[in-house]
Structure 1
């Protein structure tokens, strides 16, 4: 996918080795990236232990927030696919005892939402 697709919210897969190199300062020993998706500048990274949300902030993207969510803390999640008139797909993730989702991401009409759902199901169930 190109720049326009990612700008519009379409997720694209990212090379796992590139992501491991980028996140080497926050990954623990022996932790490996299983899959990663890029939405514009942000990343959703799945390791065997946790989901890492990488939020690049500001104009330059030098300020970065790393939000780690252990899979054991995810109580449930939902995926809403895009429809005919509603072109956005949506991912929501709740953690234990939270009434509101901790993650609420919008995607444009895109098949990556199915890949993300499968990974979440495999890691959480």
Structure 2
């Protein structure tokens, strides 16, 4: 069932130790991994500073694209829990992509994560929404 779930786009939680071994080279000095998730080849890691998106590309997966969403750029988070049938749980993060958050013409983006329906995303939602609320107060204050 694990590979089948992975092929459907669902993420599975991975231990911090495994994430550190595999993706520790992408960490900034003094950055600490909090949690992380893995698809069949792709992963994302949440640290105390950012969300690191790891996209293994190509047939062999040796080509890798690494992107970052800074935690202080997140301004909105929404979640949808899994229903009956094949519905997955999902989390959508809206974030600012402009280098200056208080600029007149900021640019934004959204990123959607899908989890197994049985995975409880509420604690992840609450943590990211707490950051988003603090960010909005800081940016607009």
TM-score range, shorter chain: 0.7 to 0.9
Aligned mates of 2:85, 2:2 — CA distance in 1? 24
In the TM superposition, residue 35 of structure 1 has moved relative to its aligned partner by 0.4
Q: What TM-score, normalized to structure 1?
A: 0.81
Partner of 1:114: 122
In the TM superposition, residue 18 of structure 1 has moved relative to its aligned partner by 1.8
Higher strand share: 1
Single out whichever of 115-124 and 28-37 deviates more from structure 2.
115-124
Q: Is the 8 A contact 1:10 1:110 kept in 2?
A: no
Single out whichever of 33-42 and 89-98 deviates more from structure 2.
89-98
- Would you say 1:42 and 2:50 are equivalent positions? no
In the TM superposition, residue 94 of structure 1 has moved relative to its aligned partner by 0.9
In the TM superposition, residue 115 of structure 1 has moved relative to its aligned partner by 4.3
In the TM superposition, residue 77 of structure 1 has moved relative to its aligned partner by 1.1
Structure 1 stretches (4+) deviating beyond 3 angstroms?
A: 97-100, 121-125
The Cα offsets for residues 22-66 of structure 1, whole Å up to 9 and x where unpaired, read as: 222221111111101112221121101111111111121111111
Aligned length: 124
CA RMSD of aligned residues (A): 2.3
Higher helix share: 2
Q: How does 1:79-118 map to 2 (within 5 A)?
A: 79-84=79-84, 87-96=87-96, 97-98=106-107, 100-101=109-110, 103-118=111-126
Gaps of 5+ in 1: none
Q: Is the 8 A contact 2:12 2:38 kept in 1?
A: yes
